[in-house]
């Protein structure tokens, strides 16, 4: 496969990848809020708990209990969005199922929010999961009402915005007016990347949140370009297969990976960032660290630019529901 064929295959795939991004703004209540430095685990857990309580009606599953072995019904909205519950036949074909959602917490490290102060949670949905967007407004509202952080203090959902392909936000939900408008929320990935231009011969990737990439079961501490490409190809093809009508990319993956190996890591300014979370499902503390910082690449990276730029939306590596793997790409 030539590099031009790679660009064509990526373009065709991105024409099919459907996305919707919303930004929910919360306001600390009268008691204020105490939140952790990295808020991804807290907000993911609060979202999952509220979603489960609101939409899971599976027989034999209690809304206030979590088990690593529980099975949800095929039509369960919670199981579909939060657990990646898709058809058994599809799993046999593709293996591990990605969740059709990415969550990005506020990246500021502040922990104390005084009464009236605000913060935002960004959520991106992919493919068929976008049809469940109307459910999420009540879920987001319930998250704050249930309480967040130390002492589970109240946080009011004030407004929800849609974010367009240029990063501009537009209000679609106002709690006071009880108005919901999801028009123009969905777009195609190709709309984001089709007008990209290269401005230098070097590609810069900044890992904004811990990026957890594994190779042969081991954590990657040096972000070689071909490892980034392998991970993104795997993630993109899985999202397309499971949530876009089992679409398959027609591409020589082995040749793509060989071509990616010719792109070199010129400067590595990344470091490892460790953090832990407690898993209610597995009843143990889990380490979820990853690399943060900047990496600079040189070589024939241009045919991969569509793919790497897409990482700003689909993320790189494991646990994107915690906000991990958020990157910024520029040339």
Mean pLDDT of all residues in 121-130: 96
Number of domains observed in the structure of the chain: 2
Last residue of a domain, one of 154, 188, 222: 188
Which pLDDT belongs to residue 65? 54
Which pLDDT belongs to residue 199? 73
Residue 68: which CATH number? 3.30.70.1890
The reply to whether 165 and 266 lie within a common domain is: no
23-74 confidence digits (pLDDT tens): 999 999 999 999 999 999 999 999 999 999 998 888 655 545 555 567 788 7
Over 60: is that where the pLDDT of 163 sits? yes
Which pLDDT belongs to residue 84? 84
Burial class (CB in 10 A: 0-12, 13-18, 19+), 62: exposed
Last residue of a domain, one of 166, 188, 210: 188
Over 90: is that where the pLDDT of 198 sits? no
Count Cβ neighbours within 10 Å for each residue of 226-254 and write b for 16 or more, e otherwise.
bbbbbbbbebbbbbbbbbbeebebebeee
Last residue of a domain, one of 162, 188, 214: 188
Mean pLDDT of all residues in 267-296: 79
Residue 268: which CATH number? 3.30.70.1900
The reply to whether 203 and 265 lie within a common domain is: yes
The reply to whether 138 and 105 lie within a common domain is: yes
The reply to whether 121 and 140 lie within a common domain is: yes
Which pLDDT belongs to residue 274? 83
The reply to whether 184 and 311 lie within a common domain is: no
The reply to whether 28 and 8 lie within a common domain is: no
Over 50: is that where the pLDDT of 272 sits? yes
For residue 34, what are its two tokens?
A: 């105490």
Which pLDDT belongs to residue 282? 52
The reply to whether 118 and 196 lie within a common domain is: no
The better pLDDT of the pair 238, 200 is held by 238
Lowest-confidence pick of 44-58, 72-86, 137-151: 72-86
The reply to whether 119 and 215 lie within a common domain is: no
Which percentage of the chain shows pLDDT scores above 70?
Answer: 87
Provide the mean pLDDT of the chain. 87
The reply to whether 29 and 171 lie within a common domain is: yes
- Cβ–Cβ contacts within 10 Å for residue 134, how many? 10
Which pLDDT belongs to residue 69? 60
Which pLDDT belongs to residue 218? 87
Say if strands 101-104 and 179-180 run parallel, antiparallel, or are unpaired.
unpaired
The better pLDDT of the pair 257, 196 is held by 257
The reply to whether 221 and 143 lie within a common domain is: no
Q: What is the pTM of this model?
A: 0.90
Cα→Cα distances 168→25, 81, 171, Å: 15, 26, 10
For residue 142, give its domain range.
Answer: 19-188
Cα Rg, the chain, nearest whole Å? 20
The better pLDDT of the pair 197, 38 is held by 38
The reply to whether 126 and 238 lie within a common domain is: no
CA neighbor of 315 nearest in space, from 99, 22, 165: 99
CA neighbor of 10 nearest in space, from 290, 305, 286: 305
The reply to whether 124 and 224 lie within a common domain is: no
213-244 confidence digits (pLDDT tens): 988 888 999 999 999 999 999 999 999 999 99
């Amino acid at each position: 496969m030539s590099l031009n064929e790679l660009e064509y295959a990526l373009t065709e795939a991105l024409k099919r990848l459907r996305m919707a991004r919303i930004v929910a703004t919360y306001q600390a209540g009268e008691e204020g809020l105490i939140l952790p430095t990295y808020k991804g685990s807290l907000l993911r857990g609060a979202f999952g708990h509220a979603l489960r309580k609101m939409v899971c009606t599976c027989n034999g599953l209690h809304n206030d209990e979590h088990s690593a072995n529980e099975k949800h019904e095929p039509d369960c909205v919670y199981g579909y969005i939060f657990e990646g519950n898709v058809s058994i036949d599809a799993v046999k074909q593709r293996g591990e199922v990605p969740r059709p959602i990415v969550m990005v917490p506020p990246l500021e490290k502040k922990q104390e929010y005084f009464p009236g102060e605000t913060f935002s949670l960004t959520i991106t949905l992919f493919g068929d999961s976008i049809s469940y967007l109307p459910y999420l407004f009540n879920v987001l509202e319930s998250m704050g009402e249930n309480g967040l952080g130390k002492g589970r203090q109240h946080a009011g959902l004030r407004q929800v915005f849609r974010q367009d392909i240029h990063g501009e936000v537009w209000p679609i939900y106002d709690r006071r007016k009880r108005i919901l408008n999801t028009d123009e929320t969905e777009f195609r990935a190709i709309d984001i990347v089709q007008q990209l231009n290269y401005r230098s011969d070097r590609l810069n990737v900044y890992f904004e949140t811990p990026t957890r990439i594994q190779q042969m079961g081991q954590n990657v501490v040096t972000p070689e370009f071909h490892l980034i490409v392998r991970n993104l190809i795997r993630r993109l093809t899985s999202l397309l297969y499971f949530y876009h009508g089992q679409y398959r990319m027609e591409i020589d993956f082995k040749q793509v990976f060989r071509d990616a190996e010719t792109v070199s890591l010129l400067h590595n300014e990344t470091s490892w960032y460790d953090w832990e979370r407690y898993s209610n499902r597995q009843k143990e503390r889990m380490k979820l660290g990853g690399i943060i910082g900047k990496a600079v690449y040189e070589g024939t990276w241009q045919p991969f630019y569509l793919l790497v730029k897409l990482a700003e939306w689909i993320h790189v590596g494991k646990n994107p529901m915690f906000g991990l793997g958020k990157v910024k790409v520029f040339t």
